[in-house]
Structure 1
Amino acid sequence: MRTTVNIHDGLLATVKHRAQEEGKTLGDVFEDALRSYLLADRTEEVTEAAPPSLPVFRGGTGLAPGIDPSSNASLYEAMYAAEDAALAALIRGHERP
């Protein structure tokens, strides 16, 4: 099929040089480039439509007794209880009676 396309002169010169280096016709290079462009577009659509699956932990004992998952303070206390206790002991150790 024959068609007319406007292409920047510098780009056309680069494509002609590449075609000559690869022993291809200018039409072959354009067809390859368009094919790659269209395939890349399809790949993005498929990737966006199907999010990756994530591993889900299904075992274990759940939350420790007394932890309220809807309370930031409760979660903080559970996560940092040991550190807070160690810090408190360190501070008490430096306090003078």
Structure 2
Amino acid sequence: MSPSHIAGMRTTVRLRGELLELAKRKAAEQGRSLTALIEDAVRHELARPTTRKRIKIPVSKASGGALPGVDLIKTNLLEDELELSRRKS
């Protein structure tokens, strides 16, 4: 491992004033450095799972089909005609 990885790297992080003050206070209360607090916070965030819990969507089990009087063939033909007219304009 290179020496820069052992010693750490310097970077600039911009925090809002009140957040920085809260972080400094928490680090002081715990007797550790602000760097250690930020490192732990970043590690904690990176360790969180990135996938969300799957939501099961209910599937209708109703039988049937089109309502009486609805002709699906005519409906499809009408949709085709509308699509053709959109492409022409």
TM-score range, shorter chain: 0.3 to 0.5
Structure with the higher helix share, 1 or 2: 1
* TM-score of the aligned structures, taking structure 1 as reference length: 0.43
* TM-score of the aligned structures, taking structure 2 as reference length: 0.46
